[in-house]
Structure 1
Amino acid sequence: MRLYDLKTLHMKKCVGIDQNPYFSWKIANDKNDTVQCAYQLQVLCDEECLWDTGKVESEKQSFVEYEGIALSSRTEYKWKVTVWNNYNETAEAEAQFETGLLEKSLWNAKWVESTIPRVPVTEYKYGNTAPAVFFEKEFTLDKRVKKARMYATSYGVYQLRINKKRADDREFAPEFTTYSTVLYYQTYDVTMLLKQGKNTLDMYVGDGWYFSMQASPVFENQHEKPSVLFQLEVEYEDGTTEQIISDGDETCALGPICYSDIFQGEKQDYRIGYDEKHPVEVKDYGYEMLEAQPMPPVRPTKLLPAVDVFQSPNGEWIVDFGQVLAGRARIHIDEPKDTEIVLEYFEILDENGNYVNTMFCPQKDIVVSNGTPLEHEVKFTFHGFRYIRVTGMTEVKKENFTAVLLTTEKDDYGSFTCSDERVNRLYQNVRWSQWNNMMSVPTDCPAREKAGWTGDILVYAKTALMNEDVTPFLSSWLHSLRENQADDGVVMITAPYTKLYDGVLMNTVKEFGDTRVTGVAGWSDAIVWVPYIMHQVTGNTIVLKDNYEAMKKWCDYIIRTAKEKRGYRDIPYEYDQYLWNTGFHFGEWLIPSQQIDPKHPYENAKTTSYFMAPFFGYQSVRYFAEICGLLGKVDEQNHYDEIAQQMKNAIQNGIMRGGHMPDDLMGGYCVAIAFDLVPDDLKESYKEKLVSLIQKNDYCLDTGFLATPFLLDALCIVGEQELAHQVFWQDKRPSWLYEVDHGATAIWEAWDADEAKKPGRFVSFDHYALGCVDDWMERAICGIDTDQAGFKHFVIRPQYDSKLTSCERTFESEAGMVSVKWDEHTLKVEIPCNTTATVYCGETVVNIGSGTYQFER
C-alpha cells in the first residue's frame, strides 16, 4: 500500500495561504477490497508537532480540517499522514504548505499609485482605456540570500519581475474579485531571482477588470489610477532578515503598451521604451480587503501551432489554429520599423470564408514594429478565437503563429473515448469550452462577455467537477458570490457583479414592477446548487458550512417573495403564497423554437417564468433542507423541509392541476419530471406529453437553458431510455451532433449559432453550459454514477448503446481513479481503494470492493 496525491486545501502547491487548511490523500494497493480503517495526521513546524490527531478509526480521507494550535504567519509546515488498512498494512506520506500574512497588521507596505494622468484612448466604441503603467523600485541587498518571499497585489492586473525576470508565469494577477471587499494578494518564491548587491523590482500594470468599462465590479470609491502594493521579505544566510516594501520611493512610467482592454484588445508600440520616470503617490487604501489567493493562478497551459494560413475571397490574410480557444497568439514579427500590424481575433468564418465579427466589439490587437525581429504576445488581455485576420505583415507564414491557451490551472480528472468519432469530438468540445471559460472565474464565454454568470455554472458544475479539480476554483468564485449578495438575500446574476449588468438588470426589473434588483430563478439559485453539487461529487462539507448563511438568506428571500407578492395568473392564494412566480426571470431561456425579439428580449421569458421560477425555487429550498441535515441543523432541516413540501403541493395543485402548464413547451415537463414534482395521477400524462412534444419536433430537443440539462434524464426516469439515446444521437438542428457535424470545436451558445455566418448575428461559439450533456454521457452511456456523496459507493450501470461498439471513461474521484471500459463482449471496471461498487452487467448484479474486474456481457 502507498499514499499519493496529498493536497492541502485541495492543492498540491500551497504557498502563502491565510485560511485554515484541510488535507486529503489517496490510497493505492495491489490487493482487492482495500479499505482504510484508520488514519493519523500530524502537522509539524521545524519538527515540533503542532497537531496530532492520534489514531482515528475512520475511512475519511478528504477535507480533514486542521484543529491544532493557531498557525503562524510566513511559516513553512510539514504534514504527515499514516494510514492503516483492513489487511493490517500501514503507509506513510508527507507534504508541505506555507502560510502567508495571517494578520493584516503584518502589512508594512504602503499603497503607491501612479501620478501619470490617465489619458483615455477614444478609438474604442465600447469604453475607453489608458496606457499600462510601469512601477519600478531599486534596492540593495548587502548579504547572501537564503530565502525570499514576495507578497504583492495591485489595482489593475500586473506582471512582476525581479532583475528583469518574471517571478512566475501567472497571468492576470491579482485575479477577478469584488475588489472593494476581497482583493487577492499573490505569494512568490523569489529566492533564486535575487542577488547580493543592487536589485530591481518592477510591476507592469494594465487596466484588467478593475478599470474596464465593461467588467468593473459594482463598488463605491473606485480608484482613478493603477496602484501597487508589495512586500519583499528576505532571510539572509546569517539568519538576519530584511523587508523591502512599497513605500513611495518607487517610480512610475509609461511604456510600449499604449492601451490594453480586457475585452477589446491591446496596442504595443515596440518603438517606445519606458519614458521619463515620475514619482508615485502614497495612498491609504488599507488592508482589510486583502486575502491570499486561494486557488491556482491563470497560466498558459497549451500551445497550438497554426494549422493553416490562407487568403479569403475578400483578399484577407487569415490564420487558422483549427480550434476555438481562449488566450492569445505568440507571433514572430520581422518587419521594417514603423510597420503597423493589426490582428483581429474571431471564432468563425462567414458563409463565403471571410472574416466576420460575431461580438459586440471586435477583438483587435495592434503591434508597431521597431525594425528588429521579435516574439509578440499581448500582456493584459485575452481573446476567444480560432482565427486571426492579419493586416500589415509583408508575408503571413503559418510557422510564425502559435496560439496560447490561458486557463486557471487545474488537475485533469476525466477522460472519454468511444468508437464514434463524432461523440469523441463532442467530448473534446466540452473539455475545450471548460478550459476556455475557467479564467479566474467561471465565465460564460471568453470573447463577448467574460462574466461570471451564475446560471451557466449552475447547470454545468457537475460536469466541471467530473472533468477537472475545480474545488479551489469554485470555492473562490462562491466567495465573490457571497460578497455581492444583497442585504435582502438577493443573489446577483454574475459574480463579481459588474456595473454593466447592474445597469441592464435595473432597467429590466422596472418593466416587471420592481424598483431594485431582484433574484433570478435558475441563476441566483447557484448559491445553493453549486455548493450542493460540490458536496455530492466530492463529499465536501466545508463548502456547505462556508455558504450556509448565504444559502439561508437566499432561500428566505424566495419564500418571502412568494408569500408577499401575488402571481400573474389566477391561482388561489392558498397555493400562490408558496409559488415564487413574480418579478423578472430569464425563465426557459433560448428555446430553439422561440425567436427572441431584440427590441423585447425578455417577452419569451415571461411565458415560462411562471412555472420555471417556482420549480427552481422549490428545488433550492429542498436542497437547502438537505444541507441543513448534513450540517446537523435538525430544526432548520425540518423547517425548510416543511416549506418545500408546501411549495411542491402548491405546484401540483396550483399549476399542474390548475391547468397552467404550457401546451407546447417540453422544458416544463422535463424539469417537472426531473425534480419529482409530478403527482402520481399525472405521471403517465406528463410522460405522454413530453414524448409527444419530442415526436412532433422531429425527435429533436426543444428545451432552453434551464431544461436542457434535465431532458435526457427525464426521459430515462419515465422509462424512455431509447428515446433519450435517439435525442442524443440526433444530428438535425437543434442537437449536439449537429454542431459537431458543422465544424464546432467548442460548445455553442445557441443551437443555431451557425446562422452567424451571415453577418449581423452576435453569438458565441464557446459557451460551456450546454456541454452539461457530458454529465449524462458519463452516467448513462459510460455507466459511472453514485448513490453516496463523494462517490464513496459507485453504481456502474452502462446503458449499452447500439450505435457504439466500445466506450471508455475515467474519473478521478476523491478516493482515486474509477474506470469503466466496455465493448461488445466485456465490461471492465476499476474501482479505487476505500470505495465499493455495485456493477450491473446484463442480468448480473455484483457488489465489489476496490480492484480491477472483468465481466462477460
Structure 2
Amino acid sequence: MRLERLRTLHRTDPVGIDRTPEFSWNIVSALHNTMQTSYRLTVDDGERVVWDSGIVHSDQQSFIEYGGSPLRSRTPYRWSVRVEDNHNGIATASAGFETAFLDDDWVGRWVESTIPRPQAEGDWGHGTQPPAVEFLRRFEIRDGFRRARLYATALGAYRPSLNGARIDDRELAPEFSVYRSRLYYQTYDVTTQLRAGDNELSVYVGDGWYLCPATRPLSHELRTMPAILFQLEVHYEDGSVETIASDGTETCRTGPVRSSDLYWGERYDETAPFGDPQPVEVIHLGYGNLVAQPIDPIRPVELLPARTVDTSPDGDVIVDFGQIIAGRVRVRIDAPAGTEVTLEHFEVRTVDGGYFNSTYAGQKDVYVSDGTPREYEPLFTFHGFRYVRVSGLPVVRAEAFTAVLLTTPKERTGFFECSDAGLNRLHENVLWSQRNNMMSIPTDCPTREKAGFTGDIQLYTPAAFVNEDVTSFLTAWLQNLAAEQRDHGVVPMTVPFTTPYERLSLTMSEQYGAEGVTGIAGWSDAAVIVPWEMYRATGNTMVLREAFASMSSWCDTIIATARDERGSCDLPEELDRHLWNTGFHFGEWLIPSQQQKNGDFETTKESAAYVAPFFGYRSIRLLADIAGILGLDDERDRYAAHAEVMRDAIQRVFMTGDELPTKLMGGYVLAFAFDLVPAERWQAYAARFVELIEANDGLLDTGFLATPYLLDVLVRIGRADLAIDLLWERRQPSWLYQVDMGATAIWENWDAIAPDGTPGVSSFDHYAFGCIDDWICREVAGIRAGVPGYKHSVIAPRTDTRLTWCSRSLLTEFGELAVRWTQDELEVVVPCNTTATVHWRGERHEVGSGSHRF
C-alpha cells in the first residue's frame, strides 16, 4: 500500500493560504478489497508539532479539517499522514503548505500612478485604452538570506519582475473577483532571484478586469488609475527578517504597451521606450478586502503550433491553429522599423473561407517593430480563437506562429474513448470548452462576454467534475457569489457582477415592473445547485456548510417574492403566493424553435412561465435536503414545508389536465426531472412528451436549463431508445451535428452554423450544452455514484447503444474508477477504500477495490 495525491485545500503544496486547511489523500494497493481502517495526521512548522490528530479509526480520507493550535502567518508547514488498512498494511506520506497573512500583517501602502490617463471609449474601448504603467522600486539587502517571499496585488492586471526577469509564468494577476470584498493577493517565492546588494522590483500594470470598461466593478469608490501594493519579506540565516514594502518612494512610467484591454486587445510599440520616471501617490484603501488567492494562478498550459497559412478569396492572410482556444498568439517577427503587424483573432470562417468576427469585442493585437527580430506575445489580454488574420507582414510563415492556451490549471480527472469517432470528438470539444472557460472564474465564453454567468455553471457543474477537479476553483467562485449577493439575498446573473450586466438587469427589471436587480430562475439558483452538485460529485459537506447562509438567503428571497408579488390576476391568492412567477427570467434560453433575436427577450416568456416556479421549488427542496445532511433539523423542516406547498401549488396550476399548458418539451423535461408530475398524470405526460419529440421529426427542442435533464428523463419514462437516438442524431439541432460541421468546441446555439456552412452571430466556445458529457459517463460508460462522492459506485454500462466498445475513467476523491467494455467483456477498476455494485448481462455483482473482469 502507498499514499498518493496528497492535497491541501484540494491543491498541491499551496504557497500562500489564509484559511483553515483541509487535507486529503488517495490509497493505492495491489491487494483487493483494501479499506482504510485508521489514519493519523500531524502538522509541524519545522520546529514543533502544531497538530497531532492521534489515531482516528475512520475511513475518511478527504476534506479532513485541521484541528490544531492556531497557525502562524507567513510560515511553511509540513503535514504527514499515516494510514493503516484492513490487511494490516501501513503507509505514510507527507506534503506541504505555507500560510500567507493571517493577522494584521500588511505594512505596505497602496501607491497609485500619477500619469494622466485618458478615458477609453464606451464599454469595449475600441483600442482607445490608455497605456500600461510600470512601477519601479530599487532596494538593497544584505547577504545571508535563506528565504524570501513577495506578497503583492494591484488594481489592474500586473506582471512582476525582479532584477529584469519575470518572477514566474502566471498571467493576469490578481485575476477576477468581487474586488470590493475579495481582492486577491499573490505570494511569490523569490529566493533564487534576489541577490545581495542592489535589486530592482518592476510591477507592470495593464487594465485587467478592474480597469477594463466592460468589467469594472460596482463601487462608489472605484479607482480609475493603476495602483499596486507589495511587501517583500527576506528571512536571514540569523533569524532576522527584513521587510521592503511599497511606501510611496516608487516611481512609475509608461512604456511599449500603449493600450491593453481584455476584449479589444493590446497595442505594443517597440519604438515607444519607457518614459521618464514619475512620482507615485500614496492612497488609503486599507486591507479589509484582501484575500490570499485561493486557486492556482492562470498559466500557459499548452502550446499549439500553427497548422496552415492560406489566403482567403478576399486576400486576407489567415493562420489556422486547428483548435478553438482561449489565450494568445506568440509570433516571431522580423520586420523593418515602424512596421505595424496586426493580429485579428476569430473562431470560425465564412463559407468561402474568409474572416468572420462574430463578436463586438475587437480581439485585435497590434505590434509595432523597431527593426530588431523579436518574439512577441501580448501581456495583458486574451482572446477566444482558432484563426488569426495577419496583416502588415510581407511573408507569413506557419512556423513563426504558436497559440498559447491560458487557463486555471486543474487536475484532469476524466478520460473517455469509444468506437465512435464522432462521440470521441464531442468529448474533446467538451474538454476544450471547459478549459477555455475556466480561467479565474467559470465564464460563458472567452470572446465577447468573458462573464461569470451563473446559469451556465449551475447546469454544467456535473460535467465539469467528470473531467477535472474543480473543487477549489468552484469553492472560490461560490465565495465570490456570496460576496456579490444583494442585501435581500438576490444572486445576480453574473458573478462577479459588472457595470454592463447591472445595466441590463435594471433595464429588464424595469420592463417587467420590478425595481432594482432581481433574481433570475435557473441563474440565481446557482447559489444552491452548484454546491449541491459539488457535494454529489465529491461527498464534500464542507462546501454545503460554508455556503448554507448564501443558499438560505437566496431561497428566502424566492419565498418572499412568491408571497409578496402577484403574478396572475387569474389565480387565487392561496396558490399564487406560493409560485415564483414574477419578474424577468431568461426561461430555458436558446430553445431551437424559439428564435432568440439579439436584445429581444419576448421569446423567453413562454418557457419562463414554468422555469421560474419549477426552479424555485427545486432550490427550496434541495435546501431542505442540504439542511438535513448538515443536521439542521429545524431548517430542514421549515424548507421542506415550503417546498411541499409550492409543489402543491404547481400541480394545481400547471397539472390539472392531461397535458401541460405549454407545447415546449422543456416543460415536461423539468416537470419529470424535479419530481413534480402527479402519479395519476405520469403516463399521460410521458406520452405527450414523446409525441412532442415525434412531431418535431425526432429532434430535440430544449434550451440551456432543460437539456441537462433531457436524456435522463427519457430513460426514466422507459424510452432509453429515444435518448440514444437523440445522442446519435446528426441533423440540426444535435450534438453530433456540431461535430460534423467541424466544431472544435461546444457551440452556444444549436444553430450556430447553418447546414450550408454559414456562421451566425454566436459564441462557438460555450460549455453549457457540453452537459451531455456527464450523461455519457453515467449511462453510456456506466459510471455512477451510488452515494455522493463515489464511496460506493454503481457500474451499469449501456451496451444497447451504437458502440462496440467504450473506455471511461474517473479520478474520484478515492482514486481512479475505470470501466472498459466491449460487447463480450467488462473490465472494472475500483479504487481503494470503496466498493461497487456491477450490473452486467443481467447479473449483479458486489465487489471491493481492485481490478475485476466479467
2:820 corresponds to: 821
1:122 is displaced (CA, Å) by 5.0
Which moved further from structure 2: 116-125 or 674-683?
A: 116-125
Contact 2:412 2:469 in 1 (8 A): yes
1:724-735 to structure 2, matched below 5 A, reads 724-735=723-734
- The CA distance in 2 between the partners of 1:472 and 1:124, in whole Å, is 31
Shift of 1:759: 8.0
Shift of 1:145: 2.2
**Counterpart in the other structure of 1:506:** 506
Which residue number in structure 2 is paired with residue 671 of structure 1? Answer: 670
Which residue number corresponds to residue 342 of structure 1?
342
Residue 741 of structure 2 corresponds to 742
1:346-381 superposed Cα distances (whole Å, 9 cap, x missing partner): 000011110011001321111000101100000100
**Quick one: distance in 1 between partners of 2:768 and 2:794?**
26
User: Aligned partner of 2:789: which letter?
Assistant: G
Is the CA contact 1:134–1:204 (under 8 Å) kept in the aligned structure 2?
Answer: yes
Shift of residue 661 of structure 1? 2.4
Counterpart in the other structure of 1:332: 332
Cα contact 2:606–2:662 (8 A) shared by 1 = no
Tell me which residue corresponds to 1:652.
Answer: 651
After superposing on structure 2, the runs of 4+ consecutive aligned residues of structure 1 that deviate more than 6 Å are 756-760
Partner of 2:24: 24
CA displacement at 1:596 relative to structure 2: 2.0
Contact 1:786-1:794 at 8 Å conserved across structures? yes
Residue equivalent to 1:174? 174
What is the SS of the residue equivalent to 1:112?
strand
Aligned position for 1:754: 753
How far residue 787 of structure 1 moved from its aligned partner, in angstroms, is 2.3
How many Å separate the matches in 2 of 1:125 and 1:794?
49
1:796 aligns with 2:795: yes
TM superposition shift of 1:239: 2.8
Corresponding residue for residue 700 of structure 1? 699
Match of 2:435 in 1: 435
Residue 812 of structure 1 aligns to a residue whose secondary structure is strand
Distance in 2 between residues matched to 1:460 and 1:186, nearest whole Å: 29
CA distance in 1, matches of 2:598, 2:29: 60
What amino acid sits opposite 2:416 in the alignment?
A: F
Amino acid at match of 1:403: A
Residue 53 of structure 1 and its aligned partner are, at CA, apart by: 1.2
Cα distance in 2 for partners of 1:569, 1:772 equals: 38
Counterpart of 1:477?
477
Q: Secondary structure at the match of 1:193?
A: coil
Give the structure 2 partner of residue 95 of structure 1. Answer: 95
Give the equivalent residue in structure 2 for 1:809: 808
Q: Is the 8 A contact 2:753 2:760 kept in 1?
A: no
TM-score (ref. length: structure 2): 0.98
Match of 2:254 in 1: 254
**Secondary structure of the corresponding residue to residue 192 of structure 1:** coil
Cross-structure match for 2:277: 277
User: 1:602 aligns to what?
Assistant: 601
Q: Distance in 1 between matches of 2:505 and 2:136?
A: 41
Counterpart of 1:383? 383
Correspondence 1:778 to 2:816 = no
The answer to whether the Cα contact below 8 Å between 1:158 and 1:174 also exists between their aligned partners in 2 is: yes
Q: Which moved more, 1:589-598 or 1:344-353?
A: 589-598
Q: Which residue of 2 aligns with 1:58?
A: 58
Q: Given residue 419 of structure 2, which amino acid in structure 1 is its aligned partner? A: S
Alignment CA distance shift 1:704-1:121 (3 Å): closer
1-structure distance, mates of 2:417, 2:218: 44
1:578 and 2:598 equivalent? no
Number of residue pairs matched by the alignment: 853
Amino acid corresponding to residue 819 of structure 1 in structure 2: A
The alignment partner of 1:210 has SS state of helix
Identity of aligned residues (%): 50
Distance in 1 between residues matched to 2:669 and 2:597, nearest whole Å = 25
Kindly state the Cα deviation for residue 696 of structure 1 after the two structures are TM-superposed.
1.1
Which residue in the other structure is 1:566 paired with? Answer: 566
Aligned to 1:643: 642
**Partner Cα separation in structure 2 for residue 658 and residue 697 of structure 1:** 22
CA distance in 1, matches of 2:657, 2:6: 55
Q: Is the 8 A contact 2:29 2:832 kept in 1?
A: yes
CA distance in 2, matches of 1:203, 1:732: 53
User: 1:27–1:833: 8 Å Cα contact kept in structure 2?
Assistant: yes
**Aligned 1:197-216 pairs, distance under 5 A:** 197-216=197-216
Aligned partner letter, 1:248: G
CA-CA distance at 1:594 after TM superposition: 1.0
Cα distance per residue 1:111-156 (max 9 Å; x no partner): 1100100024559965652100000111111213211000000000
What SS does structure 1 have at the residue aligned with 2:505?
Answer: helix
Q: Which runs of 5+ in 1 are unaligned?
A: none
Aligned residue number for residue 228 of structure 2: 228
In the alignment, residue 335 of structure 2 is paired with which amino acid? E
Aligned equivalent of 1:237: 237
Does 2:411 correspond to 1:411? yes
Letter in 2 for 1:149: R
Report the 3-state secondary structure (helix = DSSP H, G, I; strand = E; otherwise coil) of the residue aligned with 2:209. coil
Name the structure 2 match of 1:3: 3
Q: Does 1:81 pair with 2:118?
A: no
Cα distance, 1:546 vs structure 2: 1.2
Per-residue deviation at 1:240? 2.3
- Aligned partners of 1:83, 1:707: CA distance in 2, in Å? 44
1:96-117, CA deviations, whole angstroms, 9 ceiling, x for partnerless residues?
11100111x2101011100100
RMSD over aligned CA atoms reads: 1.4
- The letter of the residue matching 2:772 is V
Q: Is the 8 A contact 1:171 1:298 kept in 2?
A: yes
Given the superposition, is the C-alpha separation of residues 652 and 124 from structure 1 closer, same or farther in structure 2, using an over 3 Å criterion? closer
Q: What is the CA deviation profile of residues 380-420 of structure 1, one whole-angstrom value per residue up to 9, with x for unaligned ones?
A: 00000000000000101000000000000111111000011
| 1:563-610 per-position Cα deviation (integer Å, ceiling 9, x unaligned) | 1112237233222221111111111111001112445x2111111112
2:383 corresponds to 1:397 = no
Question: Secondary structure of 2:211's partner?
Answer: coil
Q: Check conservation: 2:310, 2:319, Cα contact below 8 A.
A: yes
Q: Per the alignment, do residues 755 and 362 of structure 1 end up closer, same or farther by CA in structure 2, a change over 3 Å counting?
A: farther
| Partner residue, 1:463 | 463
8 Å Cα contact 1:358-1:756 kept in structure 2:
no
Contact 2:568 / 2:576 at 8 angstroms: preserved in 1? no
> In terms of mean alpha carbon deviation, does 307-316 or 42-51 score higher?
42-51
- 1:794 maps to a residue whose letter is S
Structure 1 counterpart of 2:536:
536
Q: Tell me the CA shift for residue 228 of structure 1.
A: 0.3
* Counterpart for residue 691 of structure 1: 690
Provide the rounded CA distance (Å) in 2 between the counterparts of 1:122 and 1:293: 31
Displacement of 1:792 after TM fit? 0.7
**Paired residue type of 1:684:** Q
For 2:181 and 2:297, the matched residues in 1 are separated by: 20
Structure-2 separation of matches of 1:660 and 1:481:
38
Q: Are 1:307 and 2:316 counterparts? A: no
CA distance 1:210–1:627, shift in 2 (3 Å): same
Match of 2:147 in 1: 147
Q: Which moved more, 1:774-783 or 1:752-761?
A: 752-761
Aligned amino acid, residue 462 of structure 1: P
- Using the TM superposition, name which of 151-160 and 750-759 deviates more: 750-759
Asked whether the 8 Å contact 1:356–1:757 carries over to 2, the reply is: no
Secondary structure at 2:177 match in 1 = coil
Corresponding letter in the other structure for 1:118: R
Matched, 1:298 2:298: yes
Q: Within 2, Cα distance between the matches of 1:71 and 1:684? A: 60
Question: Deviations for 1:85-104, whole angstroms, at most 9, x for unmatched residues?
Answer: 1112111111111100111x
- Separation (CA, whole Å) in 2 of partners of 1:585 and 1:122: 31
SS in 1 for 2:40: strand
Q: Is the 8 A contact 1:419 1:804 kept in 2?
A: yes
CA contact (8 A) 1:611 1:661 kept: no
- Report if the CA contact (8 A) 1:756-1:762 is conserved: no
Which amino acid in the other structure matches residue 503 of structure 2?
G
Question: Secondary structure, in 3 states, of the residue corresponding to 1:547?
Answer: helix
Give the secondary structure class of the aligned counterpart of 1:627.
Answer: helix
**5+ residue gaps in structure 2?**
none
CA distance in 2, matches of 1:682, 1:124: 50
Q: Residue 323 of structure 2 corresponds to which residue in structure 1?
A: 323
| Shift in Å, 1:272 | 1.6
Residues 329 and 403, structure 1, Cα contact 8 Å, conserved in 2: yes
604-613 vs 288-297, greater mean Cα deviation: 604-613
**Would the alpha carbon gap of residues 619 and 339 (structure 1) be closer, same or farther in structure 2, given more than 3 Å must change?**
same
Instruction: Report the AA paired with residue 174 of structure 2.
Output: P
Contact 2:185 2:293 in 1 (8 A): yes
